[in-house]
Amino acid sequence: MSRQQSINSNQTGASTITAQSPLNRSLRTTGEEIWKRSERINAELFTLTYGAIVSQLCTDYGRNFVQINEELFQMGYNIGVRLIEDFLARTALPRCSDLQETSEVISKCAFKIFLNISPKVINWSNNKDAFSLLIEDNPLSDFVELPMDAMDQLWYSNVLCGVLKGALEMVQLDCDISFVSDILRGDQQTELRIKLNKILKDEIPIGED
Amino acid sequence: MAIETILIINKSGGLIYQRNFSDTFASKLNSNDFLIIASTIHSVFAIASQITPKALQITQNNVDYVIPYIPMVGMESSNPQQNRNNNLPVKLGSFKGPDYFKESFVSWNKSGLRQLNSDQFTMYIYQTMTGLKFVALSSNVLANKPASQIGNMDKGKAQNLASQVADNFLRKIYCVYCDYVMKDPFYSLEMPIKSELFDKKVKQMVGNLS
Amino acid sequence: MDAMISPYATGDNATASSVMSEQHQFQLFEESLRKVNILVFQMLINEIIPLSMGLEKKLERANNDELSDKLSKMEVTEGEESLSTVVPTYNTKDIIPSNELIHELSELKDEDKYNKVIDRVRNIGYQVGNKLSELLIFTNNPNLQFKEMDLLLIMKFICRDVWKQLYGKQIDNLKTNHRGTFYLIDYDYQPIREFCIEENALKKELKLVEPFLEFPVGIIKGVLASLGYSKEQVICLATFIDRPNNDIPDTTFAKGISFHVQITTQNNQ
């Protein structure tokens, strides 16, 4: 029995391949290349399917928008816990060393690969435990207009919060995720806030260090 | 590399997938044996991580964890005769071919068990960031050849290459897992994989490898 | 069903070359449109069934405590100020995994309840179908000449364009008796391609997959409604069928799907 990583790789020297190491490639390039190699679908079809789901929820919940927000979040969570595996299999990105790196991965890789947008990372908290994503050109809400009664309660794209929550939880990051503002509500911009509560250290797979 | 068995172990050490591809040693084991093997691998993996000397961890830089991309491992067109259509994008589930990925990558498994050699078999482990372990048992044995046949350096090289091939291959099994298991809405996370389609796909890829 | 013909075989050969270039242009145009990863779309579609089931459960619970609900509503109207300022934090432990909801649906004994869930799924499909035809009409699709579009052309439009847009492939076979009955057969229905089937539990598994055929049923009805055939005129049923031959790789779902569409046209004459 031998623990391969410890001894023989040192001897044979795998150093020749460091030039193409993913560590040296920018996250933006990684995101773009994987986007190019993904099967795609018309964004408008996606938009209107999501719209049909939200509208069905409105019918069923009799415009109880707080409940609808929760429902969208839960649906997103169920997507996120599965989608993360796909993201990791495609990118094989190493674990982020801090939240700043995580924010870059979410914006330049995750959003890029799945929705072909790269939200700006803004509004860092002083102790760097929270940031916002400025979502422009949100493919979920293209051409959407909210009815008046939904304007101050419905977070139309709340599914995104759920997806991020589920995905981050699977890589052992416990975060609070919510929308702060949405253009659909008449706000200046669409801002999604991610706050790291704690790293679930006990759940990080042994062997990663 | 001839693969005898593929195992997938969930983050709590439970066996969620096991398949033998030939009827050598592994086929003599029953499903209960495999459950025990899975949890043993899970534990030994963790122990290995804890006994890695700190000095070793510090002197090693990231170079060791970079797995070079080895083209077309386990893919159909690894046969050069069929390679003509290489420029056309092949559909690999939701991945656009010809291959599942095409750049070198960093192993998430830094201090855990990665390869285990015996005089009967070699075992390779690939662990994901979510704690899944993809395990391949191969009948190719490198450990026991006399040093006169292959020089020490060559042996190391061969082991290293085999390990890299295994990492490339197991990452692809992970990709297939995403397409066939994660997208199966009936699948319950952490539970045994029953998808026949996944099974067929894995079998195909193992077949391509040998 | 006598005298079924397959209208796919008879092409309009006369204008083939000009159609080709139009097709090419259309394809280029299509490619220039905004895209998202097909995965997120598939994941979203897969969530429609568990969502509809979860809704049914919650609404039922809400009905059961209707009395207490009324009381709480009164409280809400009194204390409005907290509504939009509170940042919601959801306990993810309480979220029921989608696969559990799907299994629960397939084991539902109460037919009335089952139908309510299915109606919800169909209705979401219906809304998508309804808007989808608008979307396709406005993209200058050369396959569409709505001036003289009869039912057969509309069905061809569904088979070709709607299906292509949704699933990246056409319906494999369209059959009709020319009296309002159509069979749209898809031997490799894309959304369930990755679904697993255990041969020893075929019946149970098919019951699980069945609800996933209701979304496209809704879509077909939605498209027809947007082109003048209202919900009430159209009956659409989806059933599993065996494939006639084995030219489809075995890494796909074991069954084909047949959509039986029946249209009563008396209002449209």
Q: What is the ipTM of this complex?
A: 0.86
Q: Is A87 on the interface with C (CB under 8 A)?
A: no
Q: Which residue has the higher pLDDT, A196 or C74?
A: A196
Q: Which residue has the higher pLDDT, C205 or C95?
A: C95
User: Do residue B117 and residue A2 have CB atoms under 8 angstroms apart?
Assistant: yes
Q: Where residue A101 sits, what CATH number does that domain have?
A: 3.30.1380.20
Query: Least CB-CB distance to B183: which of C42, C102, C250?
Result: C42
Measure B188 CA to nearest chain C CA, in Å. Answer: 6
Residue A194 lies in a domain: yes
The structure tokens listed for A61 are 């919940």
Residue A7 lies in a domain: no
pLDDT of residue B153: 59
Q: Chain A residues with CB inside 8 Å of B45's CB?
A: 206-207
| pLDDT above 80 for A152 | yes
Can you tell me the distance from the alpha carbon of B19 to that of C145, in angstroms, rounded to the nearest whole number? 54
User: Do residue C195 and residue B94 have CB atoms under 8 angstroms apart?
Assistant: no
pLDDT of residue B193: 93
Query: Least CB-CB distance to C41: which of A46, A142, A162?
Result: A46
A38 CB-near residues (< 8 Å, 6+ apart): A90, A113, B94, B95, B96, C37, C38, C39
Cα–Cα distance list, B146 to B151, B161, C204 (Å): 9, 19, 56
Q: Which residue has the higher pLDDT, C96 or B76?
A: C96
Q: Chain A residues with CB inside 8 Å of B65's CB?
A: 5
| Report for A29-43, A151-165, C96-110: range of highest mean pLDDT | A151-165
User: Do residue C196 and residue B185 have CB atoms under 8 angstroms apart?
Assistant: no
Burial (0-12, 13-18, 19+ Cβ within 10 Å), C13: exposed
Report domain C39-56+96-263's class: alpha beta
pLDDT of residue B158: 78
| pLDDT above 70 for C17 | no
Number of domains in chain A: 1
User: Do residue C39 and residue A166 have CB atoms under 8 angstroms apart?
Assistant: no
| pLDDT above 50 for B36 | yes
pLDDT tens figures, A120-138: 999 999 999 999 999 999 9
Residue A206 lies in a domain: no
Residue of B nearest to A92 (CA): B105
Query: How many H-runs (helices) and E-runs (strands) does chain B carry?
Result: 4, 9
| pLDDT above 70 for C82 | no
Q: Chain C residues with CB inside 8 Å of A50's CB?
A: 44
Tell me the pLDDT band of C66, cut-offs 50, 70 and 90. low
Break chain C into its structural domains and give their ranges. Answer: 39-56+96-263
Report the percentage of chain B scoring pLDDT > 70.
80
Residue A11 lies in a domain: no
pLDDT tens figures, A86-125: 999 999 999 999 999 999 999 999 999 999 999 999 999 9
Residue A182 lies in a domain: yes
pLDDT of residue A184: 95
Residue A58 lies in a domain: yes
Residue of C nearest to A52 (CA): C124
Residue of B nearest to C199 (CA): B196
Query: Least CB-CB distance to A89: which of B112, B157, B178?
Result: B178
pLDDT of residue B57: 58
Of the candidates C258, C254, C242, the one whose C-alpha atom is nearest the C-alpha of residue C198 is C254
| pLDDT above 50 for C148 | yes
CB C132 within 8 A of CB C162: yes
pTM of the model: 0.87
> What subunits touch chain B, counting only 3 or more CB pairs under 8 A?
A, C
| pLDDT above 80 for B88 | no
Measure C167 CA to nearest chain A CA, in Å. Answer: 9
Can you tell me the distance from the alpha carbon of A172 to that of A95, in angstroms, rounded to the nearest whole number? 10
Residue A36 lies in a domain: no
Element (H, E) at C263: strand C256-263
The residue segments making up the domain with residue A138 are 23-30+43-199
Query: Least CB-CB distance to A207: which of B105, B110, B189?
Result: B110
Residue A15 lies in a domain: no
Q: Quick one: average pLDDT of C113-128?
A: 95
pLDDT tens figures, A6-63: 333 333 333 333 334 455 578 999 999 999 988 899 999 999 999 999 999 999 998 8
pLDDT of residue C250: 61
Residue of B nearest to C99 (CA): B186
